[in-house]
Amino acid sequence: MTTPNVQPIPELYVSWESAAKLKHEASELPSWDLSPRQLCDIELLMNGGFNPLKGFLSQADYESVVERMRLADGALWPMPITLDVSEAFAATVEPGQDIALRDPEGVILAIMSVTDKWVPDKRLEAERVFGADDIAHPAVNYLHHVAGPVYLGGPITGIQPPVHYDFKARRDTPNELRAFFRKMGWRRIVAFQTRNPLHRAHQELTFRAAREAQANLLIHPVVGMTKPGDVDHFTRVRCYEAVLDKYPAATTHLSLLNLAMRMAGPREAVWHGLIRKNHGCTHFIVGRDHAGPGKNSRGEDFYDPYAAQELFKEHEAEIGVEMVDFKHMVYVQEKAQYLPRNEVEEGDTILDISGTELRRRLREGLEIPEWFSFPEVVAELRRRFPPRSQQGFTVFFTGLSGSGKSTIANALMVKLMEMGGRPVTLLDGDVVRKHLSSELGFSKEHRDINIRRIGYVASEITKNGGIAICAPIAPYAATRRAVREMIEQYGAFVEVHVATPLEECEKRDRKGLYKLAREGKIKEFTGISDPYEVPENPELRVDTTGMEVDYCAQQVILKLEQMGLIAARSA
């Protein structure tokens, strides 16, 4: 028998008057700037989403949660919600003291009365909570490489929630959702957790779940932090909104959850259940590989695909939410419908498109069939992920002074402008040094700053769909690699090594600099008195000795065509 979770849930906020007073007093306290993950956690702590927690975990609660999935008082709680800080900050705080917790703009959101300070055993936390101390797991990687080394614990006094400027009308606190369900007379509510755009399989699954549980449906996607590499939440919410009218309006509600996921599979499923109970739900859909982190460093799954369902079932009564379990949904061609994998009959043809395949089709501008997704969703995804030939990219020339970088870069720029379609920006070495880096010299440190500046500007151009052509010497491999990483988050990075030999550059000596360098009148001159680390694996290598500029630029164009960055011209 399901009891509706309708009565208000305790929040950690003080009254408006007290908040104004506390804010004033707290400005004197040592203060900690919350990380993006801590900002998500504190919002759910304060609004009751993490009820029964009253703050960041104390050491006793933390150790108990890590070891046995329970708080020290025995209440079921699978996820350590901890305030990780730097050593430097920890040194300024002692148990018994209050600290102010601030958002990135410095606004005080809460006061924490510190009761505990300790150095956690992160290896143990990784093994117990996430199942392995393997940095292929995004939360383990976070634990070791992002989270601070010291944890602080203690109760929180809430002053104000973190501010959101996006999709405000679609964000509900647990009490707002509970009030909505009361108002609508909804007593049985099944929640659907997701971090992906909704395709037809998900819609079919949610329809079936609501029917099976005889419940109303809450589409409750996570918009806080999900798995690195996921579709950003802005795009996803537009996708959810695009399919909302395919659900009966009177029975379905969409609400956004600002949760920072940990991808902890079975433990995460239990945690999600508790969070949904706090949000007034009575049922929760747990599918195949719920909150799965992908493959471990040996290429195997971290968790059994149905382990989440098993752990949830085991604790169902304590969670206080009934599980609606689902097998993987697949499209059966002969029946032209979606079915759970275990209901497919022998001989039936199953059609499926994996996440990787979907990304490939988007990237290459290929068809995405209607049986797989809704045209409205596909249109949103195509807007966000245009095919490569419409995405921004960077061509990064590197080579000795006088090797011909600028000349080829200029020719390339003109050729790309002739083709049209995307704005082209040339960041030539000399021009950059005049406008962006005029205070810099040629020491290793200054050259690195210069190249990073170029990389930053190129990454912004790439992100916004333009073409950046860079032509600095960029003598250091590590700095070139850093620039590549900056840019590849947004688009392709095409490294072109202009491999004209030193002798040829010196023979040309177009600016007369080699002569001065040989005479010792210019210090730290690349190739003469300063190193040039030859690129090991550039996308392209060209030697301009005896070659026409036009021919060299053409080599680059061919490479871009081959990489799908510019559309092949029809004959």
Q: Is 500 in the site for ligand PPS (CB under 6 A)?
A: no
Nearer to ligand PPS, 226 or 394 (CB): 394
| Alpha carbon distance 440, 428 (integer Å) | 15
Cβ(392)–Cβ(491) under 8 Å? yes
Q: Is 87 exposed, middle or buried (0-12, 13-18, 19+ CB in 10 A)?
A: exposed
Is 175 assigned a catalytic role? no
C-beta closer to ligand PPS: residue 268 or 506 = 506
Closest residue to ligand PPS, based on beta-carbon distance: 429
Closest CA to 202 of 4, 374, 409: 374
The total number of residues shown for the chain amounts to 571
Structure token digits, residue 484: 């590549």
| 247 DSSP assignment | S
Decide if residue 458 touches ligand PPS (CB under 6 A).
Answer: no
Q: Pick from 51, 59, 193, 450 the residue near ligand PPS by CB under 6 A.
A: 450
Among 341, 444, 511, 521, binds ligand PPS (CB under 6 A): 511
Question: Rule CB under 6 A: is residue 514 a binding residue for ligand PPS?
Answer: no
The interface mask with ligand PPS, positions 410-439, x = CB under 6 A, is: -------------------xx--x------
Q: Among 92, 96, 81, 117, which Cα is nearest to 31's? A: 92
Nearer to ligand PPS, 24 or 521 (CB): 521
105/536 with CB nearer ligand PPS? 536
Query: How many angstroms from the chain centroid is the CA of residue 487?
Result: 15
Among 451, 458, 468, 470, binds ligand PPS (CB under 6 A): 451
Question: What does the block give as tokens for 395?
Answer: 């061509």
In the bound state with ligand PPS, the residue whose beta carbon lies nearer, of 281 and 528, is: 528
Q: How far apart are CA 439 and CA 427, in angstroms?
A: 17
Nearer to ligand PPS, 473 or 499 (CB): 473
Q: Which one of residues 138, 158, 266, 475 is an interface residue with ligand PPS (CB under 6 A)? A: 475
Q: In 3D, which of 293, 135, 325, 278 has the Cα closest to residue 228?
A: 293
Burial of 151 (0-12, 13-18, 19+ CB in 10 A): buried
Binding mask 332-351 for ligand PPS (x = CB under 6 A): --------------------
Question: Binding of ligand PPS at residue 474 (CB under 6 A)?
Answer: yes
Instruction: Please state the φ and ψ torsions of residue 558, each to the nearest 5 degrees.
Output: -60, -40
Question: How far is it, in rounded angstroms, from Cα 316 to Cα 73?
Answer: 19
If one counts every other C-beta atom within 10 angstroms of the C-beta of residue 351, the result is 12
Interface segment toward ligand PPS; rule CB under 6 A; list 30-38, 113-121, 143-151, 523-531: 523-531
Catalytic residue among 194, 394, 462, 479: 194
Grouping H, G, I as helix, E, B as strand and the rest as coil, residue 263 is: coil
Q: Give the residue, chosen from 402, 404, 466, 491, that forms a contact with ligand PPS under the rule CB under 6 A.
A: 402
Q: Could you say whether residue 140 binds ligand PPS (CB under 6 A)?
A: no
For ligand PPS, the closer of residues 348 and 503 by Cβ is 503
**Is there a cis peptide before residue 138, judged by omega within 30 degrees of 0?**
no
Q: How many CB atoms lie within 10 A of CB 2?
A: 15
Is residue 450 annotated as part of the catalytic site, yes or no?
no
Report if residue 526 touches ligand PPS, rule: CB under 6 A. yes
Considering 37, 128, 178, 195, which one is annotated as catalytic? 195
**Does the protein bind ligand PPS through residue 522 (CB under 6 A)?**
yes
Catalytic residue among 2, 115, 141, 196: 196
495: amino acid identity, one letter: E
- 120, 292, 472, 491: which one binds ligand PPS (CB under 6 A): 472
Tell me the longest C-alpha to C-alpha distance in the chain. Answer: 91
State the sign of the Cα–Cα–Cα–Cα dihedral 186, 188, 193, 197. Answer: negative
Among 236, 447, 480, 497, which residue sits at the site for ligand PPS (rule: CB under 6 A)? 447
Query: Least distance in Å: CB of 479 to ligand PPS?
Result: 9
* Binding residues for ligand PPS, total number by CB under 6 A: 21
x/- map, 233-272, ligand PPS, by CB under 6 A: ----------------------------------------
* Bridging pattern class, strands 252-254 and 216-221: parallel
Q: For the window 146-185, what string marks contact with ligand PPS as x by the rule CB under 6 A? A: ----------------------------------------
- How far is C-alpha 182 from the chain's CA centre? 35
Helix axes 307-314, 265-278, angle to 10 degrees: 50
Q: How many CB atoms lie within 10 A of CB 464?
A: 12
Selected range binding ligand PPS among 48-56, 80-88, 309-317, 473-481, rule: CB under 6 A? 473-481
Q: Which is nearer to ligand PPS, 391 or 450 (CB)?
A: 450
Q: What is the dihedral of CA 314, 320, 322, 326, to 10 degrees?
A: -60
Q: Is 196 a catalytic residue?
A: yes
Are 263 and 34 within 8 A, CB to CB? no
Task: Report the alpha-carbon distance of residue 217 to residue 464 in Å, rounded.
Answer: 37
- Kindly state whether residue 549 participates in binding ligand PPS, applying the rule CB under 6 A: no
Q: Which residues are catalytic?
A: 194-196
Residues found near ligand PPS in the complex (CB under 6 A): 401-402, 406, 429-430, 433, 442, 447, 450-451, 472-475, 511, 513, 522, 524-526, 530
